Every structure is written in C-alpha cells, then in structure tokens.
C-alpha cells in the first residue's frame, strides 16, 4: 500500500508539473541590426564539449581583425581550435596528476584557458591542424574523453610511489593520434612561421585581456577565481556590479569590440531556434493574465508581442549561483546589438553549433537573459570605460 501511494504521488506530481509548464508560442520575430562588429564564420563543435575554445578562438579572430584593421573578409583569420584543445588537455593532465585527481577532468574549460595556450604555445591556422585525425568530418569526442580520463585516473592509482618517465609521453601520444601532431613550422602567404611567431605576426597579445564577473560572495573591484569545475586553471576574474558588467559590455560593442561570453543556457527561453529570452514561465501559466497577449489563450493563437521576462537583480543572480541553478553551461561570442519590431534590445551572439536555427547559427539574447545568466565576459582591456578601468587599477 505504501509503495502504491508513493507511485501515485509521484505520478500526480508529474502531471501537475506538466500542467504547469506552458507551451510558449514565440512571436514571429523581426530583428533589426543596430550594430555588428566583425566575426568569422560560424563553426560547429558538434559532439565535443569544447564551446569554450570555439568561442575563445572566434573572439581572438575578431580581435585580430580589429587590431589589424582587416577589411577583406577573404583575409579573415581561421585559427585551429584543436591545437588549443590538445595543449589544454596536456596541461590539465599534469595538474590532475599533481593534485592526485582532486581536479575536474573533462573536455570543458573556459575562455581564459585559450589565452594561456596561445601565450605559452602560440597558434596555428585551421588548415595546419584540423583536429580531425580519427575518421569523422566533425568533432566526436566522447571516445577520446573517456580514454583520457581513464588514462589519468589509472596513473594516479599507481601503486609505486614514483611515477614513470613514460606516462606523460603516452598521454601526449594519445592526443597526437586523435588530434594530429603540433605543427612545428608552416607557411602562410609565402612566409614561414612557428606557432609563436605566427601569434606575434598577428599582433595578438594574450596579456591585454581581462575577464569580468558579477557576484556578491566576493568584494566588488577585486579579483577571484570563479568557483566552477571548468575553471581548472583557477583563473581570476574582476568582480563588478551587474550594472557595470552590462555597461562594460555595451561600451565595448559600441566601440568596435566583441566579447567572449560564458553563460548558463538551461533556461527554457534559450531555444534551438536562436532565441535567448528570460521568459517568465510563471506569468505564462496564469490564465486570464496578459500572458494571453503573447502566448495566446490555450495556445490556440499565435503570439503577437514579446513574452514577459523575469525581473533580474544582483540578489537574484547570487541566489541562482549559490543554489546551483546558474552553472557554467556554454561559451559563445557576443558581437552586436539588435532590436525587435517592438523596440526591445537584444545582443547578437555567435554560437558554435553550426549553421542552424532560424538565424544560421546566430542567437538573439535579451539584456535580461545576459544579466541573469552570465558567468563572465572577456574583453580587451582598452574596451573598458576609463571609470571602470580606474576602479580596477587596470592601465
């Protein structure tokens, strides 16, 4: 009887939850670009957890375009993501073993990791290291991820007190077989480069970039390592108020910069169609309210205006981070601002899921979504306002 009652209660809860989840009928959005800074083509991370690298490389490519004032799209850089991923995995293995496995070990990371690799090892064109050395046209990394985790997990369980001199060579050999060998030299436009000299020729300096975040469990205008598993290098971000965070993003975009963006995309308003909207689903569930204006009574009529969004504050951001609702889900690149037919503001976002959705790989994110869901943004230090740079002591 007790077991039967438990099942009934579970089913009832499921039915109630299902009934309370409204089906959102999206409006027929018409977006008008307000400003859009140069980006390279949309890429496809496919079945790999490497959004952090695709967004970081896209950001770096836009920076190279800006720094070198490249006007011809045919001359836009196309850099290798998996040159970075491979080096990152190699560095992570060292740290994982040194810490006896007390460190997250997966394909996930964050954009500061890209800067570390480019600073330490350089960068190469995509054509020199595609990373597709294992029989597929697009990334399918589950097998490799499992192999690498199993490898380092075995190493830290070594019954001997002293590790062999072979374990790291073996690990890097696995990376080489899946991703390909690191190019030592290569030729671009008739000139021969190493990965380091190519980075320098592109005039990209990894030391010129800052990461901003916004949480209250650390003092504002100080740096701290965001407590997420993907931040395995323990990189520090500058902590500012959420208003200053948005002001910094807007100022950067308005002055020709883009931003690498770390965000939570688990909200129902982040869709496969290209929307990132902080939909207030509770308001949508209230029959007879203004929800009918945009959802439609009983979902029988099409939405005729933008959906109502949740209210966002510094306090709600912190609560969502503390209770693990907001997590480090996805890395993308913000490159512009648009507005819909009702005059609402959106950020234009380059994703790494290929040419997909209603806008061919571009997402439109409301300011409320960015305020609520953002983990961090990376910017060139010269993209900061003078006031914010002074508060942070950045020159």
Q: How far apart (Å, rounded) are the C-alpha atoms in residues 82 and 124?
A: 10
Q: Tell me the β-bridge partners of 347.
A: 337, 365
Distance of CA 26 to the CA centre of its chain: 25
Q: How confident is the model at residue 127 (pLDDT cuts 50, 70, 90)?
A: very high
CB–CB of 236/224 below 8 Å? yes
| E strand or H helix that includes residue 62 | helix 51-67
What is the model's pTM? 0.91
Q: How far apart (Å, rounded) are the C-alpha atoms in residues 352 and 20?
A: 32
Contacts for 58-63 with beta carbons within 8 Å, 24 or more apart?
58/260, 58/333, 58/350, 58/352, 59/111, 59/258, 59/259, 59/260, 59/333, 59/378, 60/114, 60/118, 60/123, 60/204, 62/37, 62/38, 62/258, 62/333, 62/335, 63/204, 63/257, 63/258, 63/380
- Percentage of the chain beyond pLDDT 70 is 89
* Whether residue 41 has pLDDT greater than 70: yes
User: What domains are there in the chain, each with its CATH number?
Assistant: 26-392 (3.90.70.10)
| E strand or H helix that includes residue 26 | none
Q: Mean of the pLDDT values across residues 146-171?
A: 94
Q: What Cα–Cα distance (Å) separates residue 83 from each residue in 244, 352, 375? A: 34, 17, 25
CB–CB of 360/305 below 8 Å? no
CB–CB of 248/385 below 8 Å? yes
**What three-state secondary structure class fits 327?**
coil
Q: How far apart (Å, rounded) are the C-alpha atoms in residues 246 and 265?
A: 18
Q: How far apart (Å, rounded) are the C-alpha atoms in residues 261 and 59?
A: 9
User: What letter does residue 24 receive in the DSSP assignment?
Assistant: P
167: left (phi over 0), alpha (psi -120 to 50) or beta: alpha
**What three-state secondary structure class fits 208?**
helix
What pLDDT is attached to residue 306?
A: 86
* Whether residue 1 has pLDDT greater than 80: no
Nearest CA to 204 out of 380, 341, 11 is that of 380
Nearest CA to 106 out of 155, 52, 49 is that of 49
What pLDDT is attached to residue 25?
A: 75
| E strand or H helix that includes residue 254 | helix 242-254
What pLDDT is attached to residue 161?
A: 80
Q: Mean of the pLDDT values across residues 166-180?
A: 98
Q: How far apart (Å, rounded) are the C-alpha atoms in residues 266 and 329?
A: 8
Residue 154: Cβ within 10 Å count: 10
Please say whether the dihedral angle defined by the alpha carbons of residues 144, 146, 149 and 155, taken in this order, is positive or negative: negative
pLDDT single digits (tens) 58-88: 999 999 999 999 999 999 999 999 999 999 9
Q: Mean of the pLDDT values across residues 100-109?
A: 96
| E strand or H helix that includes residue 66 | helix 51-67
């Amino acid at each position: 009887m007790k077991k039967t009652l438990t099942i009934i209660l579970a089913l009832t809860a499921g039915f109630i939850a299902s009934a309370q989840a409204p089906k959102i009928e999206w409006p027929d959005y018409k977006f008008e670009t307000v400003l859009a800074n140069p980006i390279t083509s949309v890429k496809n991370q496919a079945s790999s957890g490497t959004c952090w690298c695709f967004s970081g490389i896209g950001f770096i490519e836009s920076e190279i375009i800006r720094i070198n004032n490249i006007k011809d799209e045919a001359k836009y850089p196309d850099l290798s993501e998996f040159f970075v991923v491979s080096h990152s995995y190699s560095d992570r293995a060292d740290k994982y073993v040194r810490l006896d496995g007390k460190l997250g070990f997966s394909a996930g990371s964050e954009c500061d990791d890209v800067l570390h690799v480019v600073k330490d090892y350089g960068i190469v064109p995509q054509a020199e290291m595609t990373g597709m050395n294992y029989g597929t046209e697009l990334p399918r990394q589950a097998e490799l991820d499992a192999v690498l985790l199993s490898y380092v997990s075995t190493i830290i369980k070594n019954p001997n007190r002293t590790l062999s001199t072979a374990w790291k060579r073996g690990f890097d050999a696995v990376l080489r077989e899946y991703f390909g060998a690191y190019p030592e030299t290569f030729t671009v436009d008739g000139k021969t480069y190493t990965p380091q000299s190519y980075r320098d020729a592109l005039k990209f300096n990894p030391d010129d970039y800052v990461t901003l975040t916004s949480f209250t469990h650390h003092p504002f205008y100080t740096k701290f390592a965001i407590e997420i598993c993907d931040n395995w290098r323990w990189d520090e971000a500058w902590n500012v108020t959420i208003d200053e965070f948005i002001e910094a993003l807007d100022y950067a975009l308005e002055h020709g910069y883009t931003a690498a963006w770390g965000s939570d995309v688990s909200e129902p308003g982040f869709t496969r169609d290209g929307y990132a909207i902080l939909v207030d689903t509770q308001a949508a569930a209230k029959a007879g309210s203004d929800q009918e204006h945009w959802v439609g009574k009983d979902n029988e009529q099409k939405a005729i205006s933008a959906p109502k969004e949740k209210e966002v504050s510094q306090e709600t951001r912190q609560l969502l981070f503390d209770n693990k609702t907001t997590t480090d889900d996805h890395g993308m690149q913000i490159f512009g601002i648009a507005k819909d037919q009702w005059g609402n503001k959106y950020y234009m976002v380059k994703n790494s899921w290929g040419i997909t959705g209603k806008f061919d790989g571009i997402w439109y994110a409301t300011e409320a979504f960015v305020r609520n869901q953002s983990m961090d943004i990376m910017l060139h230090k010269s993209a900061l306002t003078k006031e914010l740079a002074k508060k942070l002591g950045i020159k």
